[in-house]
């Protein structure tokens, strides 16, 4: 195939735009933030499960404290009743029984209050663990929100680049011979499509061509379309080719 050298050089623009389109498409489908966002979603799920467990521990301790407070209130009521009866009775044996029960109730109240103090310490520790876990979840949410916003911005920029490069490619392709573009696109399915031959190196595959291949290429007319013997892309020749 023959094509004007200037048209062949424009194939480099097509190759560059195709690379930009591929990169933009990859970026908008797979923004760099996406993987970390997925990790954060799984992390938050695990953190939420742990928070549920910690809330259960805290609520169990709080319920136990509430039960002890009810028991203390019952002991106080019983002690008050016995004290009132003691004031009113003149029976010695009844008085002794009431005094013994009042003493037992006082001991019971001390035991309940000691247990309540221990539970209050446990409740404070449980609430601290809940607060720490909630802080972890908040930090995870903040990072996720930030990365999601960054990802959306990256996708938007990549989409704009994709649209711009696609328009530019259509404009360049429209200015070139259809047969040349068709050849380029066919070759581009398995190579870069076109590459500059610079200092005896194909920039499509970055391979240095051997002397025999360079001699053959150097014998071709300027308007002859030649391809790289290594990767098959169209070789664009200039004064820098080293032929």
In this model, does residue 229 exceed pLDDT 80? yes
At residue 240 the predicted structure's pLDDT band, cuts being 50, 70 and 90, is confident
Contacts of 115 (CB under 8 A, 6+ apart): 68
Tokens of 210: 């051997």
Q: How confident is the model at residue 63 (pLDDT cuts 50, 70, 90)?
A: very high
pLDDT in tens, 160-210: 999 999 999 999 999 999 999 999 999 999 999 999 999 999 999 999 999
Which distant-in-sequence residues (6+ apart) come within 8 Å of 207 by Cβ? 201, 228, 230, 231
Classify domain 30-154 by CATH architecture.
Orthogonal Bundle (1.10)
pLDDT of amino acid 92: 84
Q: pTM surpassing 0.75?
A: no
**Going by C-beta distance under 8 Å and a sequence separation of 6 or more, which residues neighbour residue 1?**
179, 180, 183, 224, 225
Percent of all residues in the chain with a pLDDT value above 70, rounded to a whole number: 100
**Banded model confidence at residue 90, pLDDT cuts 50, 70, 90:** confident
Report domain extents, the chain: 5-25+175-237, 30-154
Please give the average per-residue pLDDT across 17-30, as a whole number.
96
Q: Which helix (H) or strand (E) holds 195?
A: strand 194-198
């Amino acid at each position: 195939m023959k094509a004007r050298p200037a048209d062949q050089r424009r194939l480099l623009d097509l190759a560059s735009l195709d690379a930009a389109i591929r990169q933009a498409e990859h970026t908008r489908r797979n923004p760099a933030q996406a993987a970390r966002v997925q990790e954060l979603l799984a992390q938050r799920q695990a953190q939420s499960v742990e928070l549920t467990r910690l809330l259960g521990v805290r609520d169990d301790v709080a319920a136990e404290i509430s039960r002890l407070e009810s028991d203390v209130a019952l002991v106080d009521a019983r002690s008050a009743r016995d004290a009132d009866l003691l004031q009113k009775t003149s029976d010695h044996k009844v008085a002794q029984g009431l005094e013994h029960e009042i003493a037992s109730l006082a001991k019971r109240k001390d035991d309940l209050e000691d247990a309540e103090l221990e539970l209050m310490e446990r409740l404070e520790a449980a609430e601290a663990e809940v607060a720490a876990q909630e802080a972890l979840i908040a930090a995870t949410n903040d990072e996720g929100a930030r990365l999601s916003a960054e990802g959306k911005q990256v996708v938007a920029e990549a989409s704009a680049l994709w649209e711009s490069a696609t328009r530019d490619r259509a404009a360049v392709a429209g200015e070139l011979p259809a047969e040349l573009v068709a050849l380029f696109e066919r070759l581009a399915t398995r190579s870069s499509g076109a590459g500059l031959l610079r200092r005896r190196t194909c920039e499509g595959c970055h391979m240095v061509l051997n002397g025999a291949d360079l001699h053959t290429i150097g014998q071709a007319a300027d308007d002859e379309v030649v391809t790289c013997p290594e990767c098959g892309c169209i070789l664009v020749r200039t004064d820098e080719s080293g032929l």
